[in-house]
């Protein structure tokens, strides 16, 4: 029997690499495509001895050619942290818009199912809390985060157009804050910052007064939700995230305690347009996919800390 085959764009990134692993474990062949501007070969090189994985060093915003059949195209390529948006604003806009167009064109030509990795950033600084899929969001198009938020909103619109106009089988996941092994140590996001700071004995930098909230999902739970969504018939966007909400100050205190460090927490300026609250409403994922997160925050943080300790030993700050 021929194996099923998936293209995973952004396959060498944090989420992409976990997806590659999951598909391989389920007996798929995987084409892992990445231009490595934020992805890292370290995340996938342990898979290269597997003859079912093929790595393509390619930019998905250019014309993409993949020989052979493709059952699924998983579009996960994008810079995805506030520091990345500041450093790579044009690439962020291009991969969400042009890259999504190219990936959809490929899915259409191969008759593949297409899944877009969208984001809770589509809700911007939300005025509805928790956020359910029918909320249209409160996004500043011209602020620093606009390059990501608007690109992803465009990507969702493009995906729906390919579905409605070309009949492509499409799925859209709105991903909320996710953490786990293979996050970039220095991407400026809260978890890598707090964990590296704690483990290196540096002060933890909480932005603003830390009263803004987030809800953190462990990567294995996210991947399970995405796989269920791909196999489902749900075309409209679906939130996948962990609804257990906390303030960023509480999160910093938890990470600090777990690192066992005697570092202090210091307060820095709040970045522009930093959302004040964020929590997924996952009623739809529960009802349609029978999915809800299983991993408790402290368990997920332990697993993540093992990874961070290993990485920090390799790359002393
Ligand atoms: N944050 C912080 N200190 C840091 C990095 C981030 O207090 O060193 C805050 C940030 O301002 C935001 C929250 O943590 O309110 C989550 O930030 P992250 O960049 O992880 O994700 P996002 O803002 O996209 O949810």
Whole-angstrom Cα distance, residue 246 to residue 177? 12
Which residues does 235 contact at the CB level (< 8 Å), separation at least 6?
Answer: 160, 163, 170, 171, 172
Which listed residue (123, 148, 162, 218) is catalytic? Answer: 148
Ligand 1 binding pocket mutation candidate from 248, 250, 280, 304 (most atoms within 8 A of CB): 248
pLDDT for the residue numbered 1 = 76
Nearest-atom index, ligand 1, CA of 193: 8
Q: Cα 298 to the chain's mean position, in Å?
A: 20
> What is the enclosing helix (H) or strand (E) of 175?
strand 170-175
pLDDT for the residue numbered 315 = 64
Does ligand 1 come within 6 angstroms of the Cβ of 175?
Answer: no
> What is the enclosing helix (H) or strand (E) of 199?
helix 190-199
Q: Mean pLDDT for each 10-residue chunk of the chain (317 residues)? A: 95 98 98 98 97 97 95 98 94 98 98 98 97 98 96 98 98 98 94 97 97 98 98 98 98 97 97 96 98 98 97 73
Numbers of helices and strands, H then E, in the chain: 10, 13
CB atoms within 10 A of CB 4: 15
Nearest-atom index, ligand 1, CA of 177: 25
Which of 242, 201, 194, 238 is closest to 218 using CA atoms?
A: 242
pLDDT for the residue numbered 316 = 57
Ligand 1 binding pocket mutation candidate from 92, 175, 183, 189 (most atoms within 8 A of CB): 189
Structure-token pair, residue 240: 């996948």
162 is catalytic: no
pTM higher than the cut 0.85: yes
Q: Cα 188 to the chain's mean position, in Å?
A: 15
Whole-angstrom Cα distance, residue 56 to residue 257? 41
CA of 202 to the centre of ligand 1 (A): 17
User: What superfamily would CATH give domain 5-179+217-241+279-294?
Assistant: NAD(P)-binding Rossmann-like Domain (3.40.50.720)
Q: Where are the domains of the chain?
A: 5-179+217-241+279-294
- How many angstroms separate the Cα of 7 from the Cα of each of 73, 97, 129? 5, 18, 35
Question: Could you give the 3-state DSSP secondary structure of residue 156?
Answer: helix
CB atoms within 10 A of CB 90: 8
């Amino acid at each position: 029997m021929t194996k099923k085959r998936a293209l995973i764009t952004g396959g060498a990134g944090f989420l992409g690499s976990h997806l590659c692993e999951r598909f391989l474990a389920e007996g798929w062949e995987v084409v892992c495509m990445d231009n490595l501007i934020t992805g890292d070969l370290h995340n996938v090189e342990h898979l290269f001895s597997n003859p079912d994985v093929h790595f393509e060093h390619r930019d998905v915003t250019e014309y993409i050619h993949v020989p052979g059949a493709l059952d699924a195209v998983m579009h996960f390529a994008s810079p995805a942290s506030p520091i990345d948006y500041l450093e790579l604003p044009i690439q962020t806009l291009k991969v969400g818009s042009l890259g999504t167009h190219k990936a959809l064109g490929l899915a259409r030509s191969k008759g593949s199912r297409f899944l877009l990795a969208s984001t809770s950033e589509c809700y911007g600084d939300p005025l509805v809390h928790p956020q359910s899929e029918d909320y249209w969001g409160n996004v500043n198009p011209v602020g620093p985060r606009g390059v990501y938020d608007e690109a992803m909103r465009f990507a969702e619109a493009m995906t729906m157009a390919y579905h409605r106009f070309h009949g492509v089988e499409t799925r859209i996941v709105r991903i909320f804050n996710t953490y786990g092994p293979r996050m970039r140590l220095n991407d400026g996001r809260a978890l890598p910052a707090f964990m590296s700071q704690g483990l290196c004995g540096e002060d933890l930098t909480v932005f603003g007064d830390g009263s803004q909230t987030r809800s953190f999902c462990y990567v294995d739970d996210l991947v399970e939700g995405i796989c269920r969504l791909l196999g489902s018939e749900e075309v409209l966007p679906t939130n996948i995230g962990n609804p257990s909400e906390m303030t960023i100050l509480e999160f910093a205190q938890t990470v600090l305690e777990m690192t066992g460090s005697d570092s202090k927490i210091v307060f820095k300026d709040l970045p522009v347009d930093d959302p004040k609250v964020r929590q997924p409403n996952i009623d739809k994922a529960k009802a349609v996919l029978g999915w809800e997160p299983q991993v408790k925050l402290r368990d997920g943080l332990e697993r993540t800390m093992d990874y961070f300790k290993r990485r920090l030993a390799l790359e002393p700050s």
